[in-house]
Chain A
Amino acid sequence: MSETASGAPADWRDQVFAALRQAEIRQVGYVPDAGHARLIELCRADPQIRAVPLTSEEEGIGLAAGAWLGGERAALLMQSSGVGNCVNLLSLAKSCRFPLVLLVTMRGEWAEFNPWQVPMGSKTQQALELMDVLVYRVERPQEAAETVAAALAIAFNGDLATAVLLSQRLIGAKEWLK
């Protein structure tokens, strides 16, 4: 595990950000999400990265395709519910073999409070796989950055669509009753 300048182990979210930097990601499309809050903040603060807030996750599939047409690499940050919004648009990535990297924070699983999150959360991986997106799942913090780096590598080396599911156990279930 890498360490920060102070010597403390870096947070896995900071390590994921470093993986995006390392892969020369220049555009990051996102819908605001608690699980991605740190990563969104880091992307917005980085002058090398154009962070683009979206009204719906499906816009990100078009954004990433356009970025690639113009010679830039993009990554998308979304919650598992947003994967459902993307399904038809994934045909754009598949038909044209656009490289695609989705970092998906999971809801509707580990200790979920809101049952309305469960129908999409429990089918997120299957929905992605139905559309031939390669899916990698992260359960432990020490695996997060290397898994994201691996997904970035295979996506941009092979013009393939990939998703990394960041499990709810990893992120921590949303606290509802404070």
Chain B
Amino acid sequence: MAEVTEHAAGLDRRTAIGVLLAGRQDLLLVTGLGSTSWDAAALGDDARNFYLWGAMGAAATVGLGLALAQPERRVLVVTGDGEMLMGLGALATIGAARPSNLAIAVFDNGRYGETGMQASHTASGVALAGVARACGFAEVFDLAAEEPLAGFARRLHEPGGPLFARVAITAAETPRVLPPRDGVFLKTRFRRALGVEMS
């Protein structure tokens, strides 16, 4: 049986989200249930953020549909290891669709943060970066420090993709900062920000 390992080396998650979204420009952001949604909210609520409060496993495919609909915009999905593991097939679907404007960043602490910090599969050695590579992502990054993460953040704004980054974060708990949770509001606000909401 695989040993459960601690992710000792890693970034503070709030530092990581700040580095990713520094110089955000017109980036569109989708976040997964749940801690990555709180991370994005902690950085500052924005009409161009779509936070998932449910539908675990769907963050990557929401990003895919958005990226295909908005080929001129860059789309970033930020989600956690547990959420990504629930929708692992989406990496194959994205690898096959190859949207050049989509990037996925997985904050990996090897834990299910919302349910009591139980170990996830990545704590037993499942390597999400390896999965993304095998699924045919154009560029795959495995990051555990601020400087390379800043490089990935700059890469987000360059043409080409899909991109995947596994971002090692510590399992330290952070204060919960909750974004709005009315789904209709979030949807309509996002569409208005993009200029696609007619009413």
Please list the residues of chain A having a beta carbon within 8 angstroms of any beta carbon in chain B: 26-27, 50, 52-56, 58-72, 74, 88-89, 91-92, 95-98
Is B93 an interface residue, CB under 8 A from the partner? yes
Q: What residues on B are CB-neighbors of A95 within 8 Å?
A: 53-54, 183-184
CB of A145 to closest CB in B, whole Å: 25
A54 vs B16: C-alpha distance when bound (angstroms): 31
What 0/1 pattern do residues 71 to 97 of B give for CB contact below 8 A with A?
Answer: 000000000000000010110110011
A–B pairs, 21, beta carbons within 8 Å: A52-B97, A58-B58, A59-B61, A59-B90, A61-B58, A62-B65, A63-B61, A63-B65, A65-B65, A66-B63, A66-B64, A66-B67, A67-B65, A69-B66, A69-B187, A70-B70, A71-B70, A72-B69, A92-B52, A92-B183, A97-B184
CB distance from B55 to the nearest CB of A (A): 4
Decide if B66 touches A67 in the complex (CB within 8 Å). yes
Q: How many residues of B contact A (CB 8 A)?
A: 38
- Alpha-carbon distance A70/B190, docked complex (angstroms): 9
Known contacts A54-B93, A70-B70, then 6 further A-B pairs from the complex at CB < 8 Å, ordered by chain A residue: A56-B89, A62-B60, A70-B69, A70-B196, A92-B52, A97-B184
Q: Is residue B50 within 8 Å, beta carbon to beta carbon, of the partner chain?
A: yes
Minimum Cβ distance to chain A for residue B33 (Å): 10
Mark each residue of chain B from 112 to 139: 1 if its CB lies under 8 Å from any CB of chain A, else 0. 0000000000000000000000000000
A69 touches B96 (CB 8 A): no
* Interface, chain B (partner A; CB < 8 A): 28, 30, 50, 52-70, 87, 89-90, 92-93, 96-97, 183-184, 186-187, 190-191, 194-196
* Interface pair B55/A69, CB less than 8 Å apart: no
Interface of B is mostly: helix
- CB B30 to nearest CB in A, in angstroms, measures 7
- Taken together as a complex, chains A and B put the C-alpha atoms of A152 and B62 apart, in Å, by 20
CA distance A27 to B93 in the complex (A): 14
Report the bound CA distance from A5 to B25 in whole Å. Answer: 50
* Contact indicator A52/B69 (Cβ below 8 Å): no
**Contact yes or no, B55 A61, CB < 8 A:** yes
Q: Is the CB of B89 within 8 A of A66?
A: no
Contact A69 B183 (CB under 8 A): no
- Report the Cα distance A66→B99, complex, angstroms: 13
- Taken together as a complex, chains A and B put the C-alpha atoms of A30 and B191 apart, in Å, by 25
A147 to B190, CA, bound (A): 31
